Structure 1
Amino acid sequence: MTTIAIIPARGGSKRIPRKNVKAFHGRPMLAYSIAAAKASGLFDRVVVSTDDDEIMSLARAEGAEVPFVRPAALADDHTTTIAVIQHAIEALRAEGEPVELACCIYATAPFVQARYLQAGHAALLEHPTKSYAFSVTSFPFPVQRAIRLTEEGAVDALYPQYRNTRSQDLEEAYHDAGQFYWGRAEAWLRGDVIFSPASLPVVLPRYLVQDIDTLEDWRRAEYLYGALLAGGEIA
């Protein structure tokens, strides 16, 4: 079974310019995802999908492959992850690679761990009727008790029916951890919906999850990463 890691890393990030190559704790951000993929021992090839020359050079220096250039039409702010993975699978198959499993690993995921990549791989193999297995984590507060800000500058309950429900009586909710997405090649190519019963969860502890979309996110991630290093939680 040919198993490929695909790391999308376009050059045109807007909110944090050049964030895929920006130094994070002394290493380019992209290097963490490549290192975790290689450390897992699961992949026949670790491929970076990019449109950017600097990212290509960095990816190769870190031990990944860049066997194709991502088309400009798939490198804008509106391109979906599924479209990028579909293109990568099709490009690899066109060169003769019989891709059967493909794991999308985001380029800005410095907390991704080889052991959780391995858990996702095992879960997908154990459930042959499922299309995907991806990283999730729990919300730290009951989503049913969320509030919204009104146009008048006041607050209101987003879910009024739960105003008087004890938090311990509410169903725990989870969200996408934004690290990796295992999928069968045919599921990716069909465009099977990821957030659906076709998928399996790989539950991560909340302290290993941090979106990095803004400079505030970046700063928080650096503090968290430093604490995890000091505590021996990550290498």
Structure 2
Amino acid sequence: MKRVCTICARGGSKGVKGKNIRPLLGKPLIAYSLEQAKSSELFDLIAVSSDSDTILEIAKQYGADILISRPKELATDNAAKLPVIRHCVTEVESLSGTLFDTCVDLDATSPLRSVDDVKQAVRLLESTDALNIITAMPSRRSPYFNMIELSEDGIPRLSKTLDHPVVRRQDAPACYDMNASIYVWKRDTLFSDKGIFNPSTKMYLMPEERSIDIDSEIDFLLVELLMKQNALHFD
């Protein structure tokens, strides 16, 4: 079984300037994902894709096996992540001469995941009939109870309704937030046109305290606080 890990880190972050290499308790943010990938001992190769030479150099210092320069058209504010991952895997396979069975992407801005999360997500793919795995956490809000939308005439209403009203959030159908922490694919599925969701997609559930994706200054401060308080332990 051949496995590749990709870590995609754009240089032009808007929400948190330079977040992918911003120091977090003495290490650049991207270092946590690289260390988790290496500690899992799952991967034949770990690749980092970026449009930033600085990010690529730091990634090399923290153990990336292959550095992939991302094309400008895949590094814009509007660029989707899936084509970036596909480009990275294609380049790694060309450079290494290896066709991988399992492709795993670790989000550089999700440092609170554990090494065991990575192992379990990969195991879920390889031990079931799943074609790809997404990770998520229990949603704090429910579209059936306290998430609202505005109608065309500006009237607030619940995002989703049932035949009977939900008077307690606990009575609403279970909902989940994708945390974008780990994506796992069988190679052929990654390169299909089905996108992230297909009939054989399975979900690996993570707790909220390991699911924070740094997308704002508040997220960064919260992650830093959790680490400082030793609320989480890294393998």
Is TM (by shorter chain) over 0.5?
yes
- Aligned CA distance change for structure 1 residues 127 and 12 (closer, same or farther; 3 Å): same
C-alpha displacement of 1:189: 1.1
C-alpha displacement of 1:163: 4.7
C-alpha displacement of 1:8: 0.2
C-alpha displacement of 1:153: 9.5
Greater shift, 23-32 or 192-201, is seen at 192-201
What is the CA–CA distance in structure 2 between the aligned matches of 1:143 and 1:233, rounded to whole Å?
33
- Aligned CA distance change for structure 1 residues 53 and 175 (closer, same or farther; 3 Å): same
Give the structure 1 partner of residue 215 of structure 2.
Answer: 213
* SS of corresponding position for 1:118: helix
Greater shift, 25-34 or 197-206, is seen at 197-206
C-alpha displacement of 1:155: 5.8
Contact 2:136–2:176 under 8 Å retained in 1: yes
Contact 1:36–1:114 under 8 Å retained in 2: yes
Aligned length: 232
C-alpha displacement of 1:158: 3.6
* SS of corresponding position for 2:66: coil
What is the CA–CA distance in structure 1 between the aligned matches of 2:183 and 2:112, rounded to whole Å?
15
Give the structure 2 partner of residue 37 of structure 1.
Answer: 37
Structure 2 residue identity aligned to 1:13: S
- The unaligned stretches of length 5 or more in structure 1 are none
Contact 1:82–1:191 under 8 Å retained in 2: no
Greater shift, 31-40 or 135-144, is seen at 135-144
C-alpha displacement of 1:97: 1.8
- Superposition RMSD in Å: 2.3
C-alpha displacement of 1:234: 3.4
C-alpha displacement of 1:159: 3.9
Contact 2:32–2:111 under 8 Å retained in 1: yes
Give the structure 2 partner of residue 184 of structure 1.
Answer: 186
What is the CA–CA distance in structure 2 between the aligned matches of 1:15 and 1:133, rounded to whole Å?
27
Greater shift, 164-173 or 10-19, is seen at 164-173
- Aligned CA distance change for structure 1 residues 191 and 224 (closer, same or farther; 3 Å): farther
C-alpha displacement of 1:64: 0.7
C-alpha displacement of 1:77: 1.4
* SS of corresponding position for 2:69: coil
User: What is the correspondence of 1:60-209 to structure 2 with a 5 Å cutoff?
Assistant: 60-95=60-95, 96-128=97-129, 130-148=130-148, 156-159=157-160, 161=162, 163-209=165-211
Structure 1 residue identity aligned to 2:126: L
What does the per-residue CA deviation read over 1:151-200, in whole Å, with 9 as the maximum and x for residues that have no partner? 99996544465654333322111121121101111111113332343211
- Give TM-score scaled by structure 2 length: 0.89
- The unaligned stretches of length 5 or more in structure 2 are none
- Give TM-score scaled by structure 1 length: 0.89
* SS of corresponding position for 2:136: strand
C-alpha displacement of 1:76: 1.1
- Aligned CA distance change for structure 1 residues 200 and 150 (closer, same or farther; 3 Å): closer
- Aligned CA distance change for structure 1 residues 37 and 157 (closer, same or farther; 3 Å): same
C-alpha displacement of 1:134: 2.3
Moved over 3 A (4+): 147-166, 231-235
